[in-house]
Amino acid sequence: MASFVVVGAGLSGLVCAARLIRAGHEALVLEAQPAVGGRLRPIVTEHGPLEPAVGEIGEGDVNLRALVAALGLEPKESPLVERSHALVLGGKLHRPPPLRPWEVLVPRLSPRIDRPIDAVFWRRPRWRLRRGVVRGLWDASRKRGVEVPDSVRALDDQTWSRASIRAFGTRWCATRLAPALLARTGLDLSAESAAIVVMMLVRLWSGGGRTLPLAGGLASLVERLAAALPVRLGARVEALESTAEGVRVRYRTGGREESVFADAAVVALPPSEILRVCPKLTPAERGHLESFQPRRAIVVHRFVSDPAWLLRGLAGVTFVPGEIPDMRDLRILGRPSPSSSSSPSSSLSPDPFWIRISFERESVDEHWGLSDQVLIAKVDAAFRGSPIGDLPAGPSRVERIPELMSVQGRGALERRALFECRSERSPRLAFATEAFTTPDLEGRVTAGMRGAAAAIDSLGDVPVRAEGGGANADPPGERP
C-alpha cells in the first residue's frame, strides 16, 4: 500500500483520490478553499445556494454517468431531459430545434435562420473539406476507446473555428453548430483543436442531446465524493518537491506553514497553478504546461422571481456576435422542463432561479477592472431594447474567473503525445487536469481517472513505506 497526496479538491482531484483509495492506497486531498468542488462549488447567497452550472449530465458522458451511478445519485424514475436553447439573430429571438447528427451531412436541409443583411455569413462550405470532419466524427463514434482514430488526429493541426467554417460554412456554424456546443458546455471552443471538439461533439450526439438531472445538482456529486475522502480544507500548497524517495508538499493553513511527505503526488490544478506549485519540473513538462493559454471570464448572475418571464422553461440563449454588444450567452440555472410535457406552459415552474450572463471573450479584458455596479448597469443597458427585453429586476452578483479554461489550441493531441512519451519525468508525480482531456465535466472525471493510474504507475517497482505511515496518517505522515 502506498501513500498519495492529491493537490486540489475539484472534481478531477476528488475522482483521482477516490480511485486511489479504491485501489487499496492511502490518499490525502489538500484544498486551498474552505469547501470542496473547485469551479463546481456553489456560491452562498441570501437567496440560497447559487449553482455555477446546470445540475445535469449528458447521456453520452460515459465516465460521468458511471460515477453518478456508483454514488447512487442517478434518479431511477426521472426522465431524460432535452433542454431547449434559443438563439438571438437578426434582432429576433429564435427557438430552433436541437442539432441532429444528420445535419453535418446535409446542412442545407437543417432549419434555416436568416437575417436581412447577411454580410457576416459570406463563406460557403466545401464538401472536400467537410469529408475530413465527417469522417472524424464517424470514426470517433465507432471507436469509443482510449485510442484516438487517425481521422481525428488529422484534424489536430487546425483550430475548431477554422475547420468548422471551412467544412460547413459560416451561416450553419453560427446558427446551428456553435450555439449547440455553447449550450452544452458553456464554453467558447473556437480556439480549441478541432480534434478535441470533434470528440466532444460525438459525446453530445451519442446521448441525443439529452441530459440527466441530478437531485441536488452538481454540488451533491462533489459532496458525496468528498464525504468518503480525507480532505484538508484551507490548505494552500506553496511548493511541491518530488524526489526518488518520495514527495514533500509544503502548504500554508491557518497562518502557519506545514508539510506532508508521501510516496507520490497528483496535482489536480489548472496548468498555471501547476507551474506555481511545482517549480522543479523537467524542461519537457514545463514547456508543455506553458503551451496552454489560460482564458478568464466575467459572468453576471441575476436572481429571477418573475413567474411570467419570457425565457422561463428554456436552458438559455446564445447571442450571435454583434447582436447584443459585449454579451455572449445567457444560461438559466433553474429547474429544467421535462421533455415529456405536452405543452411548454405546463412544464414551467413558478420557483425563482438564477440566470448566468457571460461576456464575450474579446471584451473580458476591457471590462475586467470595472466595478460590479458598472458591470451590472452595462448588462442591463445591453439587454434593454433587445429581442429578450429588459432583464427582470432582482439581486445580482458579479463573478470574475481568473482561469475559466485552458485553451489547448491546434496541435494539442500531438503535444500531449510527446508529453506522455517524455523520457525525463519528475519522479513520483502525476497530473490530473482537464487540460489533458476535454474542457467539460466528462473531461474532468476522465482526468481524475487517468491521474490516479499515472500516479500508481509512477511508483513502478520502487519500494513504498510500510502500511500505517501514509500521507493521511496523524502524526507519522506529518512532518512540520
By the 8 A CB rule, do 74 and 212 touch?
Answer: yes
Whole-structure pTM value: 0.88
130: its cell numbers: 467537410
Query: Are 173 and 248 in the same domain?
Result: no
Cis peptide upstream of residue 116 (ω within 30 degrees of 0)? no
- CATH code (residue 331): 3.90.660.10
Query: Are 104 and 183 in the same domain?
Result: yes
Beta strand pairing status for 3-7 and 26-30? parallel
Average pLDDT of the segment spanning 341-352 = 52
CA distance 174 to 198: 17
By the 8 A CB rule, do 336 and 213 touch?
Answer: yes
305: its cell numbers: 422571481
Average pLDDT of the segment spanning 413-432 = 93
Beta strand pairing status for 26-30 and 231-232? parallel
- The per-residue b/e assignment along 191-213, b for 16 or more CB within 10 angstroms, e otherwise, is bbbbbbbbbbbbbbbbbebbbbb
Residue 358 lies in a domain: yes
Checking if the pLDDT of 27 tops 80, the result is yes
Checking if the pLDDT of 147 tops 90, the result is no
Residue 229 lies in a domain: yes
Query: Are 198 and 241 in the same domain?
Result: no
Query: Are 335 and 249 in the same domain?
Result: no
- DSSP 8-state code for residue 345: G
- Whose cell is 490516479? That residue is 452
pLDDT single digits (tens) 276-328: 999 999 999 999 999 998 889 999 999 988 887 888 778 889 998 888 999 99
Query: Are 365 and 412 in the same domain?
Result: no
Residue 400 lies in a domain: yes
CA distance 231 to 28: 6
Burial label for 100, CB within 10 Å (0-12, 13-18, 19+), is middle
Sequence letter at residue 303: F
Backbone angles phi, psi at 21, to 5 degrees: -65, -40
CA distance 161 to 291: 19
| Nearest C-alpha neighbor of 8 from the set 390, 316, 276, 245 | 276
Average pLDDT of the segment spanning 258-273 = 95
Could you tell me which residue, 468 or 385, shows the higher pLDDT? 385
H helix runs in 207-329, sequence order: 217-227, 271-277, 283-290
Residue 226 lies in a domain: yes
| Residue 54: pLDDT band with limits 50, 70, 90 | low
Query: Are 382 and 335 in the same domain?
Result: yes
Checking if the pLDDT of 46 tops 80, the result is no
| Strand order through the sheet with 264-267 | 231-232, 26-30, 3-7, 264-267, 429-431
Residue 84 lies in a domain: no
How large a percentage of the chain has pLDDT more than 70?
86
User: Which residues make beta-bridge pairs with 297?
Assistant: 401
C-beta neighbour count of 309 within 10 angstroms: 18
Average pLDDT of the segment spanning 243-263 = 94
CA distance 139 to 177: 19
Q: Which of 406, 441, 472 is the last residue of a domain?
A: 406
By the 8 A CB rule, do 185 and 177 touch?
Answer: no
Sequence letter at residue 371: S
Checking if the pLDDT of 342 tops 60, the result is no
- The count of structural domains within the chain is 3
Query: Are 25 and 105 in the same domain?
Result: no
Which domain does 383 fall in, by range? Answer: 294-406
Query: Are 270 and 316 in the same domain?
Result: no
- CATH code (residue 231): 3.50.50.60
pLDDT single digits (tens) 161-211: 999 999 998 888 888 888 888 887 888 899 999 999 999 888 888 766 677
Query: Are 379 and 319 in the same domain?
Result: yes
Query: Are 389 and 427 in the same domain?
Result: no
